[in-house]
Amino acid sequence: METATLAGGCFWCTQAIFQKLKGVDTVVSGYAGGELVDPSYDQVSSGSTGHAEAIQVTFDSQVISYELLLEVFFKLHDPTTVDRQGSDMGNQYRSIVFYHNQKQRAVAEETKQTVQADRSKTVVTEVVPYTNFYPAEKHHQNYYQNNHDKTYCQLVIDPKIQKLYKEFGLLLK
């Protein structure tokens, strides 16, 4: 099993997407890259801790490659907006790939360049070394599964799930 740590805006959205992929064992919503040890949602939401809402994915690289995880990541969020995903604004919503080793770094940089070649806007996704990850509070875990009837889930997450099915149907559990 390998680990990927990704920040692509709201962790409710990214967790819901990555949980549906074959080869993915666990997806935990949390906070990564900041200075404060074990921050709370309120602290991260203030924008003062340096953390991004992120997911930590444990996956079987024999079933799904890191490259494919990054392909899904880049296609299902907007990597061209600084500190923003849709109506979610603040540095906690920035786009980041936290690499765990040099191979992941190389794959992330190459994937970012490929994505950039297909876009007219600059891809602003950061590619930085992994330093820390703190799981979010319990009520943030599996948010989409537990709150599918909420307006946010229907208006923001459902369209991303539909795009996932359309673009990556063969990768789904």
Residues identified as active-site: 10
Contact 53, 29 (CB under 8 A): yes
Name 140's Cβ contacts closer than 8 Å, sequence gap at least 6: 11, 12, 29, 41
Query: What is the C-alpha to C-alpha distance for residues 12 and 151, in angstroms, rounded to an integer?
Result: 13
How many CB atoms sit inside 10 A of residue 120's CB?
A: 6
Contact 50, 9 (CB under 8 A): no
